[in-house]
């Protein structure tokens, strides 16, 4: 079963690509209701790198909005392993970068799924390279997939709203406002 989003975001493709690799930006997508916290004592990596296996815990009402610090508490949604890979392809409009999480839910209701394949593709929006064409696809499978699909579909609609709201904040190279700024 598939759940897909296709959005034009108000940021450039490089900023969206950086956000895909940022655990903080990913945690913010689920805020303010769901907290994404590291299971590992070393904490969350500063960047999600290809080949990484990052175990996380998801809870409802666990802390401050987007708190990836793992303060605990709240209702557990389970634990999940994020496995990162990426690739680049070309389409009719140019380069498309694809970030893939092929990890698997370890505990909780989503652990009843046999298949979890989440791919997010970013490219400059056709006709406006200052914006990003974001394509998001989640493929799930297993006996529980039909029961979980409506909940995940609703969650992906929330993600779409959060993506639109957060994308303008992803640029990290603002123009300096003063002439005395460091070179």
Residue by residue, pLDDT tens for the chain (183 residues) are 999 999 999 999 999 999 999 998 988 988 788 888 899 888 889 999 999 999 999 998 755 444 444 445 678 889 999 999 999 999 888 899 999 999 999 999 999 999 999 999 999 999 999 999 999 999 999 999 999 999 999 989 999 999 999 999 998 654 444 445 454
CATH number, domain of 91, equals 3.30.530.20
Contact yes or no for 166/18 (Cβ under 8 A): no
- pLDDT at residue 34, rounded to an integer: 84
Number of domains in the chain: 1
Structural domain including 113 reads: 2-169
Instruction: Specify if 177 maps to a domain.
Output: no
Nearest to 156 by CA among 123, 120, 122, 111: 120
Instruction: Specify if 68 maps to a domain.
Output: yes
Instruction: Specify if 178 maps to a domain.
Output: no
Instruction: Specify if 30 maps to a domain.
Output: yes
By CB neighbour count within 10 A (0-12 exposed, 13-18 middle, 19+ buried), where does 91 fall?
exposed
CA angle 46, 5, 143 (to 5 degrees): 90
Instruction: Specify if 155 maps to a domain.
Output: yes
Instruction: Specify if 180 maps to a domain.
Output: no
What is this structure's pTM?
A: 0.84
- pLDDT at residue 63, rounded to an integer: 52
Instruction: Specify if 179 maps to a domain.
Output: no
β-pairing, 128-141 vs 53-60, is unpaired
Instruction: Specify if 149 maps to a domain.
Output: yes
58: CB partners within 8 A, 6+ apart:
30, 34, 35, 36, 37, 76, 77, 78, 79, 80, 108
């Amino acid at each position: 079963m598939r759940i897909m989003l296709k959005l034009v975001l108000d940021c450039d493709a490089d900023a969206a690509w950086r956000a895909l690799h940022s655990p903080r930006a990913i945690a913010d997508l689920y805020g303010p209701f769901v907290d994404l916290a590291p299971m590992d004592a070393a904490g969350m990596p500063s960047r999600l790198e290809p080949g990484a296996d990052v175990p996380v815990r998801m809870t409802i009402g666990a802390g401050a909005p987007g708190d990836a610090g793992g303060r605990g508490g709240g209702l557990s949604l389970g634990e999940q392993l994020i496995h990162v890979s990426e690739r680049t392809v070309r389409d009719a409009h140019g380069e498309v970068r694809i970030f893939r999480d092929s990890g698997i839910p370890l505990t909780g209701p989503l652990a009843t799924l046999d298949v979890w394949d989440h791919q997010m593709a970013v490219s400059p929006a056709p006709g406006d390279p200052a914006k990003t064409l974001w394509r998001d696809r989640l493929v799930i499978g297993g006996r529980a997939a039909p029961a979980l699909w409506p909940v995940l579909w609703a969650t992906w609609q929330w993600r779409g709203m959060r993506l639109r709201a957060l994308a303008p904040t992803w640029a990290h190279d603002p123009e300096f406002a003063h002439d005395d700024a460091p070179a």
